[in-house]
Amino acid sequence: MELYLGIDVGSVSTNLVLIDEDNNVYESLYLRTKGQPIQVIKEGMQLLKEKYEDKVTIKGVGTTGSGRYLAGVIVGADIIKNEITAHAIATTTFVPEVQTIIEIGGQDSKIIIIRDGVVTDFAMNTVCAAGTGSFLDQQASRLNIPIEKFGDLALKSTVSVRIAGRCTVFAESDMIHKQQLGYKIEDIINGLCEALVRNYLNNVGKNKEILPPIVFQGGVAANRGIREAFARALGQDIIVPKHFNVMGAIGAAILAREATNGQKTNFKGFMVADFNYETRSFECNHCPNHCEIAEISEEGKVIGRWGGRCPRWEVI
Partner 1 sequence: MKTLRITFPYMGNYVHAFRGLLEDLGYEVVMPVKPSKRTLDLGVKYAPEFSCLPYKIVLGTYLETLPKGVDRIVTSGGVGPCRAGLYASLHEKILKKLGYQFEMIVLEPPLVDLKGFYKTVQHLNYKNYSLWYIYKTIKRNWRKIKALDTVEQKALFLRPRELTKGSVSARYKEVLQYIINAYSEKEIAEAEYEALKELEKVPVDLNRLVVKVGMVGEIYVLLEPSSNFEIEETIGHLGAEVKRSMFLTGWTRDNTMPGKSEDLLSVKDAAKPYLPELIGGHGQDSIGNAILYIKQGFDGLIQLAPFTCIPEIVARTILTRISQENNFPILTFFLDEQTGKAGMETRLEAFIDLLKRKKLHKLEKAEKGGKLNGTLSWN
79 touching partner 1, by CB under 8 A? yes
Q: Are 212 and 99 in contact (CB under 8 A)?
A: yes
95 touching partner 1, by CB under 8 A? no
Select from 177, 287, 299, 312 the one that contacts partner 1 (CB under 8 A).
Answer: 287
x/- map, 158-197, partner 1, by CB under 8 A: ----------------------------------------
Among the listed ranges 15-23, 184-192, 231-239, 281-289, the one in contact with partner 1 (CB under 8 A) is: 281-289
84 touching partner 1, by CB under 8 A? yes
Burial environment of residue 132 by CB neighbours within 10 A (0 to 12, 13 to 18, 19 or more): buried
250 touching partner 1, by CB under 8 A? no
Distance of alpha carbon 13 from alpha carbon 30, whole angstroms: 7
Q: Are 56 and 1 in contact (CB under 8 A)?
A: yes
271 touching partner 1, by CB under 8 A? no
Nearest distance, CB of residue 111 and partner 1, angstroms: 12
Distance of alpha carbon 50 from alpha carbon 63, whole angstroms: 21
CB-CB neighbours of 247 under 10 Å: 32
Is the CA virtual torsion 92, 96, 98, 103 positive or negative? negative
Distance of alpha carbon 108 from alpha carbon 191, whole angstroms: 21
Nearest distance, CB of residue 118 and partner 1, angstroms: 5
Q: How many CA atoms lie within 13 A of 288 on its CB side?
A: 0
Select from 149, 177, 280, 309 the one that contacts partner 1 (CB under 8 A).
Answer: 309
Contacts of 233 (CB under 8 A, 6+ apart): 194, 197, 198, 201
Distance of alpha carbon 165 from alpha carbon 174, whole angstroms: 9
Select from 34, 117, 162, 177 the one that contacts partner 1 (CB under 8 A).
Answer: 117
Nearest distance, CB of residue 203 and partner 1, angstroms: 14
Nearest distance, CB of residue 45 and partner 1, angstroms: 24
252 touching partner 1, by CB under 8 A? no
Eight-state DSSP code of residue 241 = -
Nearest distance, CB of residue 162 and partner 1, angstroms: 28
Nearest distance, CB of residue 77 and partner 1, angstroms: 11
Length of the chain: 316
**Strands, sheet with 109-115, edge to edge from the N-terminal-most edge strand:** 118-124, 109-115, 100-104, 214-217, 238-239
290 touching partner 1, by CB under 8 A? yes
In the chain, the amino acid numbered 245 is: N
Nearest distance, CB of residue 311 and partner 1, angstroms: 6
99 touching partner 1, by CB under 8 A? no
259 touching partner 1, by CB under 8 A? yes
Residue 184 CA: distances (Å) to CA of 121, 139, 180, 239, 241: 40, 15, 10, 29, 32
x/- map, 49-68, partner 1, by CB under 8 A: -----------------x--
Nearest distance, CB of residue 195 and partner 1, angstroms: 24
Q: Does 96 sit behind a cis peptide bond, omega within 30 degrees of 0 on the bond before it?
A: no
Whichever of 164 and 250 has its CB closer to partner 1, that residue is 250
Site residues, partner 1 (CB under 8 A): 66, 79, 81-85, 116-122, 124, 126, 207, 209, 258-259, 287-291, 309, 311
